Amino acid sequence: MNKMIGIKAISFDGDGTLWDFNKVMRHSLHHVLKELKQIDPHAAAMLDIELMIKIRNRVAAELKGRVTNLERIRIAAFRQTLEDIGRPNDALASRLNEVYLKHRFEDIELFDDVLPSLEALREKYTIGLLSNGNSYPEPCGLDGMFQFTVFSQDYGVEKPDRKLFQITLKKAMCTEQQLLHIGDSLHDDIAGAGNSGIRSIWLNRKQLKNSTGIRADYEIASLSELLV
C-alpha cells in the first residue's frame, strides 16, 4: 500500500525523530558540569548527569499542566538542582542554563537519513515540524527546510492533544485526510494523530516491540523508506 496516496502535507516530530535527543541532552549536561566545576568545584562534585536528569524530570512533573515552555522548565531545574545540593544560586543557575542551551541547539546531530529525505520530500509535499520540544529549525541546521512549524510551548498544549493537530492542519492548509504525521512516540505522535483523524507513521529506528494498544497506519525504520 502506498503510504503517500492523497497526501499533500507531512508533519514531523523533532526529538527522537530527526535527531537523538538523549544524546544531545547528555552532551549538553556534560558541558554544564564542566562549567560548574570551574565555578564551584564543590557543587560539581556532588552532581552527575543521571542526578541532574532525575531532578529535571521531577521539576517537569511538578510543573506539568502549568508550564509548557521548556526553557522555563530547564532553568527551574537548574535552580532546584543547586538547592538540592545546598548551593542555591540563581545567577549560577542562569549561567548553567546558558551553557546548556548553547550546546543543546548548536551541537544537535541529525540522523543520517534526515537531510536527504527532507530535501526530496519538500519537492513534492508541504513539510513541517510538529513538536513538544523547543528545537526551532534555525539553530539546528534546518533553517528554511520547513514550510510550517508548530511547537507546543507556543500554544500551551502538548501532543497528543487534538488542539495541536488542528493547529497543524491550519498551518499546513490541508484536511485531515491530506496530512501525514511521522514521529517516534506511540503516545504523543501516533495516538495523537489517530485521535485527530490523521494518518500516521511510527518511525521505529531501534525496531522496538510495540506492546501497547496504539497502532500506527504504517511503521518504518528509516525516513529513506518514504522515498521508495
Average pLDDT over residues 192-218: 96
Domain-ending residue, one of 80, 106, 132: 106
Average pLDDT over residues 69-86: 95
Pair (52, 117) in one structural domain: no
CA 1 to mean position of chain CA atoms: 29
Residue 154 belongs to domain with CATH number: 3.40.50.1000
Domain count, the chain: 2
- What whole-number percentage of the chain has pLDDT above 90? 86
Pair (82, 195) in one structural domain: no
Whole-angstrom distance, CA of residue 210 vs CA of residue 207:
9
CB distance 198 to 225 below 8 Å: no
Q: Let me know if residue 190 belongs to a domain.
A: yes
- pLDDT for 67 equals 86
- pLDDT for 112 equals 96
Backbone angles phi, psi at 149, to 5 degrees: -135, 140
Whole-angstrom distance, CA of residue 49 vs CA of residue 142:
28
Whole-angstrom distance, CA of residue 65 vs CA of residue 228:
41
Domain-ending residue, one of 53, 86, 106: 106
Tell me: pLDDT of 33 over 60: yes
Backbone angles phi, psi at 190, to 5 degrees: -75, -50
pTM tops 0.85, yes or no: yes
Whole-angstrom distance, CA of residue 82 vs CA of residue 170:
43
Average pLDDT over residues 206-224: 96
pLDDT in tens, 113-154: 999 999 999 999 999 999 998 888 988 889 999 999 999 999
Whole-angstrom distance, CA of residue 76 vs CA of residue 170:
33
- pLDDT for 1 equals 46
> Residue 20 class from Cβ within 10 Å (0-12 exposed, 13-18 middle, 19+ buried)?
middle
Tell me: pLDDT of 15 over 50: yes
- What whole-number percentage of the chain has pLDDT above 70? 100
Q: Let me know if residue 66 belongs to a domain.
A: yes
Pair (197, 115) in one structural domain: yes
Cα dihedral 81/84/89/93 (nearest 10): 0
Q: Let me know if residue 2 belongs to a domain.
A: no
Which range marks the domain in which residue 31 is found?
21-106
Q: Let me know if residue 102 belongs to a domain.
A: yes
Q: Let me know if residue 218 belongs to a domain.
A: yes
Among 220, 208, 1, CA closest to 113? 220
In sequence order, which residues have a C-beta less than 8 Å from that of residue 89 and are 6 or more positions away?
40, 82
CB distance 195 to 162 below 8 Å: yes
Whole-angstrom distance, CA of residue 37 vs CA of residue 92:
12
Q: Let me know if residue 4 belongs to a domain.
A: no
- pLDDT for 66 equals 87
Domain-ending residue, one of 106, 139, 168: 106
- pLDDT for 222 equals 97
Strand blocks (E) in 53-145 = 126-131
Residue 89 belongs to domain with CATH number: 1.20.120
Q: Let me know if residue 1 belongs to a domain.
A: no
- pLDDT for 39 equals 97
